[in-house]
Amino acid sequence: MLVGALTMGSFAFADIQAPPGAKWNWSRKLSRSLANLAYGTTEYPITWQKVERQDGVNAAASSMVVEGTTRTIVRVGYGLFELVTFPFPAYKGGYKPPYYKDERFDTWYGYEEFPPQLGFTSQARYSRTTNW
């Protein structure tokens, strides 16, 4: 009886957290590929904004053509790759994005998981209203 109680009590301390790769699955990979295909061209205006802030309008015009085209082609290429391979874990045995991401250190090189958003969108995940 005591052994049974100790055994049942040990199940209560089981680890119920999700594994590290649980965030990325086949449906997220499919949605990422469709977003890259549909909105990959948003790299053009984002490139314009980044260069215009740092170097001015003339530099932004030429850099938008060169760097924007490069980033769009890379993003659409990854979108096609992930669309074809979405049912299978292709990159390092999982569904994580296969492209280089180094946004913390250098915002020019590296790609976010999804294409950049245009416009004045708020990234705040909370409401400014007060609950009494």
Give the pLDDT confidence score for residue 51 in this predicted structure.
87
Q: Are 94 and 21 in contact (CB under 8 A)?
A: yes
Biggest CA-to-CA distance, the chain: 82
* pLDDT 10s digits, 34-55: 999 999 898 898 888 888 888 8
DSSP label of 74: H
Which tokens sit at 53?
Answer: 């802030």
Instruction: Report pTM.
Output: 0.67
Residue appearing with tokens 């086949």: 26
Higher pLDDT: 12 or 90? It is 90
pLDDT of 14 strictly over 80:
no
Give residues with Cβ within 8 angstroms of 46, minimum separation 6.
68, 116, 118
